[in-house]
């Protein structure tokens, strides 16, 4: 089945620092790739997505590029804010999983002023 | 658009009782809904997949008789935790997938239900 390896956390940054959260996946076929964000005590919100190779998903200053050759979908942001503090989940869907999302272990991000 | 609600947001019950959690897609029809369980500081564990009008498909290790799922309409799925015990305490999250204009495989998540069994 599909699997995901996410960068170990927690990650602690100062405001305006550069953020990278690595994500690699294994999946057969052509999965869609998603990053979800979970704020404390809440459910998951879609942050960004990419549905085919070389697509770049972007939202709220976050970006991730679908790299089929390296099976990666790393999340980046040039200047983080305190409000970005949350848990970030990488998740492929599709391939042989019939549309099921396979979640990484989540990366806790804390941004200090 | 693509809003999913869950009710209740929090529930506390006594051991041995049953609890029902509702998941609704408010502005779209959900052909498939998913139920997840999340332990503190852990990832989401898929419990089951339900398609409207058919039986749910449970993931390995999930007791179907304990976690009853009903997907009676295109906008509502329910999860009933039967004879709940303290070890069932968790954060339960549903998601819904719509066909049509949304990216295939994209799921929209509810805000979650915190279940505490005393």
Q: Name chain A contacts of B6, Cβ cutoff 8 Å.
A: 43
End-to-end CA distance of chain B: 37
Question: Which of A30, A32, A101 is closest to A64 using CA atoms?
Answer: A32
**pLDDT tens-digit readout, A59-85:** 999 999 999 999 999 999 999 999 999
Task: Write down the mean pLDDT value for chain A.
Answer: 90
The alpha carbons of chain B give a radius of gyration, in whole angstroms, of: 14
Beta bridge partners of B22: B7, B78
Question: Which of B96, B26, B64, B4 is closest to A99 using CA atoms?
Answer: B96
CB pairs under 8 A between A and B: 55
The pLDDT value recorded for residue B42 is 77
Distance from the B117 Cα atom to the nearest Cα atom in chain A, whole angstroms: 18
Distance from the B9 Cα atom to the nearest Cα atom in chain A, whole angstroms: 10
Q: Does B102 touch chain A (CB under 8 A)?
A: no
Testing the interface with B: which of A5, A38, A43, A110 to mutate, by most B Cβ within 10 A? A43
**pLDDT tens-digit readout, B25-84:** 998 888 889 999 988 777 889 999 998 888 899 999 999 999 999 988 889 999 999 999
Tell me the pairing of strands B4-7 and B57-58: unpaired
The pLDDT value recorded for residue A5 is 92
Cα separation, B53 vs B63, whole angstroms: 20
| pLDDT interval class at B99 (50, 70, 90) | low
Distance from the A96 Cα atom to the nearest Cα atom in chain B, whole angstroms: 12
The pLDDT value recorded for residue B1 is 66
The pLDDT value recorded for residue B39 is 81
Cβ distance of A101 and B112 shorter than 8 Å: no
The pLDDT value recorded for residue B97 is 86
**pLDDT tens-digit readout, A3-58:** 899 987 899 999 999 999 999 998 877 788 999 999 987 888 999 999 889 999 99
The pLDDT value recorded for residue B62 is 94
Positive or negative CA dihedral for B51, B96, B31, B84? Answer: positive
Tell me the pairing of strands B113-117 and B10-13: parallel
b/e A43-75 (16+ beta carbons within 10 angstroms → b): bbebbbbbbeeeeebeeeebbbbbeeeebbbbb
The pLDDT value recorded for residue A41 is 79
Q: Name chain A contacts of B104, Cβ cutoff 8 Å.
A: 32, 51, 94, 99
Neighbour-count burial of A25, counting CB atoms closer than 10 A to its CB (0-12 exposed, 13-18 middle, 19+ buried): buried
Cβ distance of A43 and B43 shorter than 8 Å: no
CB atoms within 10 A of CB B95: 26
The percent of residues in chain A predicted with pLDDT above 90, rounded, is 67
Testing the interface with A: which of B31, B44, B59 to mutate, by most A Cβ within 10 A? B44
CB atoms within 10 A of CB A87: 21
Q: Does B113 touch chain A (CB under 8 A)?
A: no
């Amino acid at each position: 089945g599909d699997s995901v390896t996410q960068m170990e956390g927690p990650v602690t940054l100062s405001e305006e620092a550069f953020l990278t959260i690595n994500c690699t996946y294994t999946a057969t076929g052509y999965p869609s790739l998603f990053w979800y964000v979970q704020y404390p005590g809440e459910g998951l919100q879609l942050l960004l997505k990419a549905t085919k190779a070389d697509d770049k998903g972007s939202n709220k200053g976050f970006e991730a590029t679908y790299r089929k050759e390296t099976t990666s979908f790393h999340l980046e942001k040039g200047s983080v804010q305190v409000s970005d503090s949350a848990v970030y989940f990488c998740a492929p869907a599709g391939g042989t999983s019939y549309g099921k999302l396979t979640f990484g272990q989540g990366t806790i991000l804390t941004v200090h002023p | 658009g693509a809003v999913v609600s869950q009710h209740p947001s929090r529930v506390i019950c006594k051991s041995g009782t049953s609890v029902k959690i509702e998941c609704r897609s408010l502005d779209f029809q959900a052909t498939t809904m998913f139920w997840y369980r999340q332990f503190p500081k852990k990832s989401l564990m898929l419990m089951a997949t339900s398609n409207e009008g058919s039986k749910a498909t449970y993931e390995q290790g999930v007791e179907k008789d304990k976690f009853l799922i009903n997907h009676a309409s295109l906008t509502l799925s329910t999860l009933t935790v039967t004879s709940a015990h303290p070890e069932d305490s968790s954060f339960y999250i549903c998601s819904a997938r719509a066909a049509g204009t949304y990216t295939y495989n994209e799921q929209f998540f509810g805000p979650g239900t915190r279940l505490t069994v005393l």
